[in-house]
Structure 1
Amino acid sequence: MRVLDASVYGMLLPALEQSIMAAVLVDENNCVRYFNPAAERLWGYAREEIMDRDMQPLLPKALQAVHGGYMRSNREGGEPRAVGMNRDLLVERKDGRQLWVSFSLSKIDLSGRIHYLAFARDVSDEVARREQNRLLLLAVNHTERPLFVVDGERRIVQINRAFSDLFGYTAAEAVGCLPSELLASLNTDAETLARLRSKAWSTEGFNEEILARSKDGRDIWVKASVNPIFDEDSGQLRNQVIALSDITEARRIRDLERDVLEALTSNLSFIGLGNFICQRIEAIAPGVLVSVFKVVGRRLRHWAAPSFQTSYVAGWEGVEIGDGVAGGYGTCAHRGEPVMLADITAEPLRSAYCGRVPPAGCRACMVYPVKRRDGGVIGIFALYLRRGAPQDAYLKRIADVSMYLCALAIEREESRLRLDELVHHDALTGLPNRNNLYRYTDDLLASGVEQEVAFFCVGLLRFKDVNNTLGHRVGDQMLVEVANRLRSRLSGGAFLARLEGCTFVLVVPDCSPARAAQVASRIQQVISEPLDIAGVLLDLSACIGVSHYPDGGCRDRDGLLQSAKSAMDEVKASNGGGILFFDAGMNELARERLLLGTALRRAVAGAGLRLVYQPQVRSEDGELYGVEALARWHDDNFGEIPPGRMIALAEEIGEIEAIGRWALRKACRQMAAWRSQGVHVPVVSVNLSPRSFRSRELPDFVAGLLQEHALSGDSLTIEITESAAMVLTPEMLEIVHGIRALGVGLSVDDFGTGFSSLSNLASLPVTEVKIDRSFIDRCLQESRLQALVTAVIGIGRSLNLAVVAEGVETAGQCELLRRQRCPVVQGYLFSRPLEPRDIPSWLERFRAAAAAPEAVEARPGMGG
């Protein structure tokens, strides 16, 4: 207590008047004796409202009821700490607004009487800031995200509770340390650590992932978010606040995904890949065992379970899936949704385990479906837990990623198998292909087991005709049907493959020559059965070549297969089906056929082919009806090649269409040349292969030739065989009508050999039919053939078609045809095929003979 006399007090008052702090003097009766201007501003009361009045309005409400006791207590010596100390109290101004005020109370003796002098200051802003800081520190300390603050020397000055929980350090242990000293792991990437240090005092915030270490030595992956804090006055960087996120689990899962995706692109086998996936999951999820199964059809197929006993895994192999069967495995695969077994021994599905005992210590199980993109279940993925429960969020995240990775692995395996199927099997028939055949044959011959082996090369006759006339779709159906027949009718020990086109190879182990003959006959019988495709009944026949090991002289794979093919080619070259065992002379024939095909290609590309022309005569008046253009080929090495052999070879090597277009061009040019010479040839006939009628450009090509050589459409007739004409597709018929629209004639060659129906013939835009020479050759000897010739002539007349009889070689044949009123005859009786230069002289002689009295007898011999 201070003692003041009146003079001192008088000197103090002016200073108090000028003070920025509120000053209030209260006597021992709690009456206000002094109230300065600062007090007026603080409480909002005028001096006259307070002076000489009770101090109660100036006190906090909590003290107003006890202020007398409070002051008396001070007067009697109680509450000693209230005097001479600062206190923050919440007071209320006159206008009702509350303020935080800091009080300092002094007890003084003024002229022998006790007074109290109180100094007060408004600290509302300070209190608010302290509260804000308190709340902020409370929030920081209770957030789940670890935080620490570094100062200008990059040392830790503050940490929160989450930091201590994650790394195990108390504030006393952490404060003052460099973060790198405290948290860096021996496994931390040095480059990442150096980069973090270089950026640590940057004026811009940044994020970085880094491997840290806890107090107990655990490695923890964290994502650090570094935020700079600047001084409000100077703007200088003062602190860094580093917020951390524990990304250990996310990083492990991300590394799992990366490692498995890398393994997917490696040369790991499917089983190896499954084991790798299981082991990687077990490495990041301690206490967990993993198994994976494929679902094939409705059954489980073991894939991988490296930590399980073989007997346990084998017990699930081939188990049928279903709701409530095969434990969680079958139920999950059936439903296509996860199955959680919190306690295997207590679950209702336990009975479905059929006595199988789970791995030791495993009680819970999480089973997830592995699905392909379309939602179909292709596998299951199971996590067995030694501890924990299926609700573990980390394990669920692992399972989500693992299902996706397993799906990729299974789909990769399925793609590999499909690729392997394509590489080793024929895409159309599903039979082994050439590569597969080679592999099988090499293994068979290298087995070291002495055994007889028969090799059969099987080709289908007239397969190209089916493709050209009925289309490739029908041809493909025919190949599939033949493959299915052979596959189902032959013995199980036989190996059947398709090489290309219509060629099949059959390899039969333990097969003697005698048995090989029986097998070949069986093949022929199976193929010859009628085949109905798209409403068309096809009669098939096969040409079969056979080679035998070890009796055939060849002891290697290529030789044996080539020998069988050479024998088949020899049968095919005879234009008939049959069976032929290989002998050494066939190699020379195959070589000759190869060289002859090469020579024909050169002849077509160059000038090696020529046309000759055989006259056609009207029987009624003996005038020239037209000429038929016939292709001939003379090779310097092989000599004159028979037409039949040339045409068959052209069909085989794919040059027949080129020959047809060449013949059209050559014949039209020759017609123009004859007419420029004044040689009158009414029409020229050109034979075309059915393949030519598959080209939509044919009508335009013919139109171009007619225009180029100034010929009318009726100057040209195109011939097509009866068998081809009867099976023209709608597309081919459209092409035929396009040609007929040019005025070009259409002749059906070899009429009577193809067993065509009259309705088909009547529906075609035909202008001419040609009676096959085989009927004319024997018509005088066989009355049935004579009747057939008569019928054909009558059909032609009734349909208003020209009828041409081919192969007329005797006067008797000619006379018979005249009596039957056959309009046109052609054959050696009138002339052999002539070179173009010989046609004018033949015409002169023919017309001269027609004018002579003995014309009827002389005309047949002209040029014969």
Structure 2
Amino acid sequence: MKAAADNILFPALEQTFMAVVLVDERNRVLFFNEAAEKLWGYSRDEVLGRDMNILIPGPLKHVHGDYVHHHRDGGNSRVVGMNRELQLERKDGTQVWTSFSLSKIDVDGRIHYMAAARDVSKEVARREQNRLLLLAVNNTDRAVVVLDEQRRIVQTNRAFTSMFGYGADEAMNQVFPDFLLSSGNSDDALKRVEEHLRGSRWFQEELLTATRNGREVWSRVSVNPVLNERDHRQTRNLVVTFVDITEERNIRNLERDVLAALTSRMTFQETGDYICQRIGNIAPGVLVSVCRIVDNRMRPWAAPGFPKEYGEYWDGVAVGEGVASCGTCAVRGEPVMVQDISTDPLWAPYKHQMLPHGFRACWTYPVKRRDGSVAGTFAFYFRTQNEPDTFLVRIADASVHLCALAIEREEGRQQIDRLVRFDALTGLPNRQYLYHHLDKLLSGNEPELAVFFLDINRFRKVNESLGYSAGDQVIITLANRLQERFGPHHFISRVGGAQFVVVASACRVDEASHLAELMQHIVGAEMSAAGQTFELKACIGISHSIGGDRETLLAHAESAMERVRESGGSYQFFNPELNQAVMQRLKLGMALRNAITEGHLRLEYQPQIRAADGQVYGFEALTRWHDPHAGDISPGTFIPLAEETGEIEHIGLWALREVCRQLFEWREKGTNVSAVSVNLSAHNFRKPDLPRYIADLLNEYQLPGNILTIEITESAMMELTDEMLARVREIRAMGAGVSMDDFGTGFSSLASLAYLPVTEVKIDKSFIDRFARDRRVNALVEAVVSIGHNLDLTVVAEGVENTHQHQQLRKMGCSVLQGFLFSRPLSANTLPVWLEAYRSPLQDAQS
């Protein structure tokens, strides 16, 4: 029987999937099946007959022998008869987890052992993975629930209980989303959730959830489907996570509301108060104050809820290290956290201002512009000692950005306001602000008002002799002197290049005279610029009135100033005779504007003749004005008026277009005009698009560039800036000529011709009238002609009226002559007739 049993038992043990090892009483391996070979990595030949210690894991080898002897000798074993997990060591040194059991066999008093083991490494790894996953789920700050196919909750984590207040047992088998979602969600949101839950894809929504005690919490809800392993079309479970985003939404809403306020009609002050109040709504128990930093001094902006004394005390305090929280924060450019105002050294000199009002802690953050400079400070005040809180830090991060936007917007508005209301060079109020100030005074029934119009005599010479930079410095110095002396009591504005207006309210006539003398004294004080010392003088016109309107007051003062300029005096009060001339001038200015728009202007063309052969060189286009009521208006009257009113720019553009149109018409009818000169002012060259305007006209009327010559007076040429001269060069690049008109009447030097982009110079008629009888004028004209030739410039003499002038200029080598000797200005219709009939004076002389 025993033999039969052995014959059955050992083959069965050989075939089992369990690794089986049989050890005799001397610890030698008697049996080692095929499964054992696979488990340990040894062949049975390597193991049979050897000490079983070869199979024992390294850490147990030194104690295993004593343990076995003790057990054989009758000791108890906690291992025998039990199943346990044991980590074994394979032949190659790798370790494997096994389910291990040990049996004790007594054979005729000899103790044998049989060990059985199977590889459970995958099970152990899976179990460890599950343990770690459960550890992660239970220790995450996100609430997690697992749903079954019917959306019933089958698993929750600790964060779920912490967030919603439900224990795991209370939540079990509850159906989502009816459970947890608040009725406050919109129907559209609930509909989207239902649609997603029926699907098999991940989705996320921001939803209003409800806790056990009924409190509503905004949550970011994410649903992750777990698909059936056998059928991926079916969802086995849903893993739902919840993140409390109440604070995040509060901050987002704060940003949204403040940005809306910034684009609304709220004032800067109202915006600051609104920011502070909105923060108070989402962070109860904290008071917020915002302070601007202007010229390194604190200027409280908004502090609702603070005592009135707070703003009054800090207004104007210089920032610096140790100046409480805000002053220190502004100079450091980093947050300053003071947890106890009563003991912090930064507050030592200032705590008496805050402690009586119950403030104990203050956290302050710098408000920085985009360039990194500190524009202000943002502060939290607490009535208890407080340490930084994550939510408040997030509010501060968002708020300092919003405050920076508001401050930069306000600074931009103030800058625009300054540009609109103040002179850019001197910082004084400009003409627009002057109008506003006068209107305000006159609407308040000011008893007596004096308006002083100051014009600095011959200031242009300062610019031309010392340069525009020095001229600007002189204007700034004058403005500062006037502001220092009169600023505290009177209104001072700059209304022109070297023109100022001073408004003195409640000023009697005798006081006005005294003020005018004082102004003259201030203007006449010694002045230094560009290394030169000199004195200036002003022409001062005074308009003194009880009542009236600002236009009248200013016009009267300016008229009186013009009379002073003509008479060479110091100051003068306005009188009625001047008023009549002023009104006529105002009416003429209005009529001129109408003439430009209604087509009352026309062009006449005066021929220019080559001195050498008497042939036609070209024509100069001259603007003429015939008013329907006043008749013909002299250019000597309306051109200066156009320059004063700015209409000269529109006249120049109109003349350019009219000349190009007329040239096209003449060419179409077979009249060949070689070139036409058009007068432009310095105003035209201030416009960046002037070269493009001319190029478009040439293209529109199919004209070559060299058919145009642009004339600009010598004095205007001297006023051109580098940018304006660049525009002249652009025009030259088109092939058009550039002529310096009225040469000799301005203040340029002959040497300046070498550096200006001109092709011709025109000698003014005043020199041509005198050069035949005045030796010095004759020498000057001859010098201009000579220098012009040396610089390859065409020299044109204006106002040639007799043959003697003609002969003298021709003898000097003057290039071109223009004047009544050849023709008066011609209309566009008579020019072709004149051109057809024209005979050169040289031809007449030869015949």
- Normalised by the shorter chain, which TM-score bucket? 0.5 to 0.7
**Take 1:503 and 1:28, find their aligned partners in 2: how far apart are those partners?**
125
TM-score (norm 2): 0.66
| Contact kept? 1:342, 1:364, Cα under 8 Å | yes
**Take 2:270 and 2:175, find their aligned partners in 1: how far apart are those partners?**
46
| Contact kept? 1:546, 1:563, Cα under 8 Å | yes
How is 1:637-716 mapped onto 2 (pairs within 5 angstroms)? Answer: 638=630, 645=637, 648-649=640-641, 652=644, 654=648, 689-691=713-715, 693=717, 696=728
**Take 2:594 and 2:136, find their aligned partners in 1: how far apart are those partners?**
96
| Contact kept? 1:698, 1:735, Cα under 8 Å | no
Q: Is residue 2:460 matched to residue 1:436? A: no
1:438-483, CA deviations, whole angstroms, 9 ceiling, x for partnerless residues? 3322322222x46122334455666789889998767766655554
Return closer, same or farther for 1:188/1:136 CA change in 2, 3 Å cut-off: same
Q: Secondary structure at the match of 1:101?
A: strand
Q: What is the match of residue 303 of structure 1?
A: 301
Return closer, same or farther for 1:530/1:192 CA change in 2, 3 Å cut-off: same
Q: What is the match of residue 497 of structure 1?
A: 493
How is 1:401-440 mapped onto 2 (pairs within 5 angstroms)? Answer: 401-440=398-437
Q: What is the match of residue 580 of structure 2?
A: 585
Indicate which of 335, 339, 342 corresponds to 2:339.
342
**Take 1:475 and 1:122, find their aligned partners in 2: how far apart are those partners?**
103
CA-CA distance at 1:328 after TM superposition: 2.3
Q: What is the match of residue 152 of structure 1?
A: 149
Q: What is the match of residue 739 of structure 1?
A: 760
Indicate which of 261, 285, 292 corresponds to 1:294.
292
Return closer, same or farther for 1:424/1:633 CA change in 2, 3 Å cut-off: closer
**Take 1:239 and 1:226, find their aligned partners in 2: how far apart are those partners?**
10
**Take 2:318 and 2:753, find their aligned partners in 1: how far apart are those partners?**
54
How is 1:505-516 mapped onto 2 (pairs within 5 angstroms)? Answer: 505-516=501-512
User: 453-462 or 416-425, which moves further after superposition?
Assistant: 453-462
| Contact kept? 1:21, 1:39, Cα under 8 Å | yes
1:602-646, CA deviations, whole angstroms, 9 ceiling, x for partnerless residues? 999866768799xxxxxxxxxxxxxxx999989685567678656
Q: What is the match of residue 689 of structure 2?
A: none
CA-CA distance at 1:172 after TM superposition: 0.9
Q: What is the match of residue 390 of structure 1?
A: 387
Q: What is the match of residue 616 of structure 2?
A: none
| Contact kept? 2:293, 2:377, Cα under 8 Å | yes
Q: What is the match of residue 194 of structure 1?
A: 191
Q: What is the match of residue 833 of structure 2?
A: none
**Take 1:184 and 1:361, find their aligned partners in 2: how far apart are those partners?**
42
CA-CA distance at 1:153 after TM superposition: 1.2
| Contact kept? 2:205, 2:222, Cα under 8 Å | yes
Q: What is the match of residue 832 of structure 2?
A: none
**Aligned partner of 2:371: which letter?**
D
Q: Secondary structure at the match of 2:364?
A: strand
How is 1:750-829 mapped onto 2 (pairs within 5 angstroms)? Answer: 770=770
Q: Is residue 2:303 matched to residue 1:279? A: no
**Aligned partner of 2:291: which letter?**
F
Return closer, same or farther for 1:99/1:525 CA change in 2, 3 Å cut-off: closer
How is 1:546-585 mapped onto 2 (pairs within 5 angstroms)? Answer: 546=543, 548-550=545-547, 555-564=548-557, 579-583=572-576, 585=580
**Take 2:124 and 2:737, find their aligned partners in 1: how far apart are those partners?**
110
How is 1:592-607 mapped onto 2 (pairs within 5 angstroms)? Answer: 593-594=588-589, 597=592
**Take 1:659 and 1:728, find their aligned partners in 2: how far apart are those partners?**
32
CA-CA distance at 1:347 after TM superposition: 1.7
Q: What is the match of residue 262 of structure 1?
A: 260
**Take 1:564 and 1:475, find their aligned partners in 2: how far apart are those partners?**
25
Percent identity of paired positions between Structure 1 and Structure 2: 35
1:102-138, CA deviations, whole angstroms, 9 ceiling, x for partnerless residues? 7699999x9xx9x999996736254554444334323
1:329-377, CA deviations, whole angstroms, 9 ceiling, x for partnerless residues? 3222233332222322222233221522337654332222222233332
User: 257-266 or 130-139, which moves further after superposition?
Assistant: 130-139
How is 1:117-266 mapped onto 2 (pairs within 5 angstroms)? Answer: 122=118, 124=120, 125-235=122-232, 236-266=234-264
Indicate which of 713, 727, 748 corresponds to 1:727.
748
Work out which of the two has the higher radius of gyration on C-alpha atoms and give 1 or 2.
1
Q: Secondary structure at the match of 1:136?
A: helix
- Give the alignment's Cα RMSD to 1 decimal: 6.2
How is 1:360-399 mapped onto 2 (pairs within 5 angstroms)? Answer: 362-387=359-384, 389-399=386-396
CA-CA distance at 1:721 after TM superposition: 6.5
Return closer, same or farther for 1:658/1:190 CA change in 2, 3 Å cut-off: closer
Return closer, same or farther for 1:353/1:190 CA change in 2, 3 Å cut-off: farther
Q: What is the match of residue 780 of structure 1?
A: none
**Take 1:27 and 1:350, find their aligned partners in 2: how far apart are those partners?**
84
What count of residue pairs does the alignment treat as equivalent?
721
CA-CA distance at 1:412 after TM superposition: 1.7
Indicate which of 480, 483, 486 corresponds to 1:487.
483
Q: Is residue 2:469 matched to residue 1:445? A: no
**Aligned partner of 1:690: which letter?**
E
CA-CA distance at 1:408 after TM superposition: 2.0
Q: What is the match of residue 314 of structure 1?
A: 312
Return closer, same or farther for 1:258/1:731 CA change in 2, 3 Å cut-off: farther
1:784-810, CA deviations, whole angstroms, 9 ceiling, x for partnerless residues? xxxxx78878999999999xxx99xxx
**Take 2:19 and 2:369, find their aligned partners in 1: how far apart are those partners?**
85
Q: What is the match of residue 682 of structure 1?
A: none
TM-score (norm 1): 0.65
**Take 2:39 and 2:639, find their aligned partners in 1: how far apart are those partners?**
127
Return closer, same or farther for 1:699/1:728 CA change in 2, 3 Å cut-off: farther
Q: What is the match of residue 754 of structure 1?
A: none
**Take 2:473 and 2:516, find their aligned partners in 1: how far apart are those partners?**
23
**Take 2:498 and 2:327, find their aligned partners in 1: how far apart are those partners?**
46
Q: What is the match of residue 697 of structure 2?
A: none
**Take 2:34 and 2:780, find their aligned partners in 1: how far apart are those partners?**
139
Q: Secondary structure at the match of 1:357?
A: helix
CA-CA distance at 1:283 after TM superposition: 3.2
User: 263-272 or 599-608, which moves further after superposition?
Assistant: 599-608
CA-CA distance at 1:557 after TM superposition: 4.0
| Contact kept? 1:721, 1:749, Cα under 8 Å | no
Unaligned 5+ runs, structure 2: 609-619, 664-670, 675-710, 719-724, 788-797, 812-818, 826-836
| Contact kept? 2:493, 2:502, Cα under 8 Å | yes
**Take 1:419 and 1:356, find their aligned partners in 2: how far apart are those partners?**
37
Q: Secondary structure at the match of 1:140?
A: helix
Unaligned 5+ runs, structure 1: 74-78, 614-628, 673-686, 707-716, 741-745, 752-767, 777-788, 808-813, 815-820, 825-831, 849-864
1:736-764, CA deviations, whole angstroms, 9 ceiling, x for partnerless residues? 98436xxxxx757767xxxxxxxxxxxxx
1:57-89, CA deviations, whole angstroms, 9 ceiling, x for partnerless residues? 99998884565588999xxxxx9x998xx8445
| Contact kept? 2:342, 2:360, Cα under 8 Å | yes
| Contact kept? 1:599, 1:635, Cα under 8 Å | no
Q: Secondary structure at the match of 1:200?
A: helix
Return closer, same or farther for 1:453/1:650 CA change in 2, 3 Å cut-off: closer
**Take 2:200 and 2:730, find their aligned partners in 1: how far apart are those partners?**
81
**Take 1:632 and 1:400, find their aligned partners in 2: how far apart are those partners?**
66
**Aligned partner of 1:341: which letter?**
V
Return closer, same or farther for 1:599/1:530 CA change in 2, 3 Å cut-off: farther
